[in-house]
């Protein structure tokens, strides 16, 4: 297979700072599109992965980045979904088995086939080559795994929708955030701020539960109706039995029973954050009011397209800080310190 060499930012080894390298991209095959990357968002998962914190076997050097927005610059002879010049995005995966029940149902993120969901970086694809992510100038993906970005959305603000946006959209859609429903978003970070915007646009009554009131002004500006500090024990008394749906974006340990206490009868608490250690839950916290505890991971291709179209209609992008590629290591430190409102996006022209 022929390859083209393109520049990228990569971690040369686990825990090492990112540096500029070159990587190989395959020549577009019959069903591939070549995308000139314009922007790549920085997701917390990128940091976990390059630091080897998720127990990955470590395909280094590793180019992170699964919030990709760019423009199609070449297409294979069999491509029908995209044309040269189209604005497209790539999210957390670039392939899956395409044959299992989940893939057929458009739930590629839950692929149960042998290939599984092929992550956008650090995973062997169907050709055996390890994928390299979006902190780069170009990427080649199968046309079925590239999404259309509506013209109403600037590409820099759209990039984070490909992970942060769909991570929140999927549970909000599945558990019917909408008019007459009371929804709480736990955490006001990269994920949480998208949850506020999307749940508000869906018509729900939105409450932010954040550690402090530091981001209250932002939360209300982004569409929250209420904002409460979880560091204040009175919050849990005041809001007991209040919510139809709580989406927890926090990956730190939390007192699940306390949050389940905030749900109304038949309410659901959905975990999208992934703490390292198991969380304890008292069955009585679920039984007493027929409550549910659930999880959700990104979204499939059809739902990701639905999310982008929804965000296009409602003018929803991420709140971002655009950085130059050489600032990426500094940006990682700031993400870890919670010092970003609310997503860093790398300008790929600076790579």
Note the residues at the interface with Zn ion (CB under 5 A): 43, 45, 96-97, 100, 103, 111, 113, 163
Q: How far apart are CA 283 and CA 221, in angstroms?
A: 37
Measured from the CB atom, the residue of 44 and 87 that comes closer to Zn ion is 44
Nearest distance from C-beta of residue 116 to Zn ion, angstroms: 7
Nearest distance from C-beta of residue 113 to Zn ion, angstroms: 4
For 301, phi then psi, to 5°, come to: -60, -50
Nearest distance from C-beta of residue 185 to Zn ion, angstroms: 17
Nearest distance from C-beta of residue 242 to Zn ion, angstroms: 29
**What does 70-90 look like in DSSP terms, one character per residue?**
EEEEEE-TT--S--TT-EEEE
Q: Strands 292-295 and 263-271: what pairing?
A: parallel
Measured from the CB atom, the residue of 163 and 206 that comes closer to Zn ion is 163
Measured from the CB atom, the residue of 107 and 262 that comes closer to Zn ion is 107
For 337, phi then psi, to 5°, come to: -85, 0
List helix spans (H) across the chain: 44-50, 101-104, 155-158, 164-174, 190-202, 216-222, 233-238, 256-260, 283-287, 301-314, 328-336
Measured from the CB atom, the residue of 262 and 316 that comes closer to Zn ion is 316
Q: By the 8 A CB rule, do 243 and 207 touch? A: yes
Nearest distance from C-beta of residue 108 to Zn ion, angstroms: 6
Measured from the CB atom, the residue of 93 and 243 that comes closer to Zn ion is 93
For residue 98, the 8-state DSSP code is: S
Q: How far apart are CA 6 and CA 70, in angstroms?
A: 15
- Nearest C-alpha neighbor of 241 from the set 187, 291, 283: 291
Nearest distance from C-beta of residue 46 to Zn ion, angstroms: 7
Nearest distance from C-beta of residue 65 to Zn ion, angstroms: 9
Q: Which residues contact 21 (CB under 8 A, 6 or more apart)?
A: 7, 8, 9, 10, 12, 61, 63
Nearest distance from C-beta of residue 138 to Zn ion, angstroms: 20
The residue whose two tokens read 């759209």 is: 158
Q: How far apart are CA 93 and CA 297, in angstroms?
A: 12
Tokens for 107? 């739930």
Measured from the CB atom, the residue of 21 and 297 that comes closer to Zn ion is 297
| Helix, strand and coil percent figures for the chain, each rounded to 5 | 30, 30, 45
Measured from the CB atom, the residue of 163 and 246 that comes closer to Zn ion is 163
Measured from the CB atom, the residue of 97 and 184 that comes closer to Zn ion is 97
Measured from the CB atom, the residue of 7 and 113 that comes closer to Zn ion is 113
Tokens for 133? 């992510």
Nearest distance from C-beta of residue 282 to Zn ion, angstroms: 31
For residue 27, the 8-state DSSP code is: P
DSSP bridge pairs for 228:
209
């Amino acid at each position: 297979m022929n390859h083209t060499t393109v520049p990228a930012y990569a971690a040369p080894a686990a825990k090492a700072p990112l540096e500029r390298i070159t990587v190989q991209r395959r020549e577009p095959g019959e069903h591939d599109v070549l995308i000139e990357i314009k922007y790549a968002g920085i997701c917390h998962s990128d940091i976990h992965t390059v630091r080897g914190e998720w127990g990955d076997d470590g395909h280094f050097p590793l180019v992170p980045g699964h919030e990709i927005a760019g423009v199609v610059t070449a297409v294979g002879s069999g491509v029908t979904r995209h044309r040269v010049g189209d604005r497209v995005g790539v999210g957390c995966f670039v392939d899956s088995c395409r044959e299992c029940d989940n893939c057929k149902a458009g739930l590629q993120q839950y692929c149960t086939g042998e290939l599984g969901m092929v992550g956008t970086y650090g995973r062997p694809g169907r050709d055996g080559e390890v994928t390299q992510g979006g902190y780069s100038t170009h990427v080649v993906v199968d046309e079925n795994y590239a999404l259309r970005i509506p013209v109403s959305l600037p590409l820099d603000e759209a990039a984070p929708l490909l992970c942060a946006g769909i991570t929140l959209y999927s549970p909000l859609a599945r558990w019917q955030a909408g008019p007459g429903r009371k929804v709480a978003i736990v955490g006001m970070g990269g994920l949480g701020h998208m949850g506020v915007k999307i749940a508000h646009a869906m018509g729900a009554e939105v409450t932010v539960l954040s550690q402090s009131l530091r981001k209250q002004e932002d939360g209300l500006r982004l569409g929250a109706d209420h904002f409460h500090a979880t560091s204040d024990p009175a919050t849990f008394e005041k809001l007991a039995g209040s919510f139809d749906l709580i989406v927890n974006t926090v990956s730190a340990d939390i007192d699940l029973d306390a949050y389940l206490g905030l749900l109304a009868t038949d309410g659901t608490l959905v975990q999208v954050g992934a703490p390292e250690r198991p969380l304890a839950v008292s069955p009585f916290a679920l039984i007493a009011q027929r409550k549910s505890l659930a999880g959700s991971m990104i979204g499939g291709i059809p739902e990701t397209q639905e999310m982008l179209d929804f965000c296009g209609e409602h003018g929803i992008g991420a709140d971002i800080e655009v950085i130059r590629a050489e600032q990426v290591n500094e940006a990682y430190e700031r993400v870890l310190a919670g010092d970003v409102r609310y997503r860093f996006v790398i300008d790929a022209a600076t790579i």
